[in-house]
Amino acid sequence: MDFISILSIFVMACFVGYYVVWSVTPALHTPLMAVTNAISSVIIVGALIAAAAGGSPTAKWLGLIAVALASVNIFGGFAVTARMLAMYKKKER
């Protein structure tokens, strides 16, 4: 992919993000932060590439540490979001 296609995806995604986030109800702003935290750990993709590659042992170890850090976030972020969301209940009628 050339730089311009990537930039186009990025700009469009910013607009999507803008509208989607404004539609999030303020009551769920804390879960929003927790889940955005979890999904921003998609940086694990870069960490996996570094950890998987041969060539530079240092880069591999940096990658492995990054995989571990991102995993803390992925598991922790989704789990804590799920825990919070399960608490939001409607009035029993």
Q: Please, which of residues 63-82 interact with other proteins by CB under 8 A? A: 63-82
Scan residues 43-62 and list those touching other proteins (CB under 8 A): 43-56, 58-60, 62
27 in contact with other proteins (CB under 8 A): yes
Q: What is the DSSP string of 18-39?
A: HHHHHTS-GGGHHHHHHHHHHH
87 in contact with other proteins (CB under 8 A): yes
Q: How far is the CB of 19 from other proteins (least distance, A)?
A: 9
Q: How far is the CB of 13 from other proteins (least distance, A)?
A: 4
Residue 63: closest CA among 50, 52, 46: 50
4 in contact with other proteins (CB under 8 A): no
Number of residues that bind other proteins (CB under 8 A): 82
Residue 11: closest CA among 58, 71, 3, 93: 3
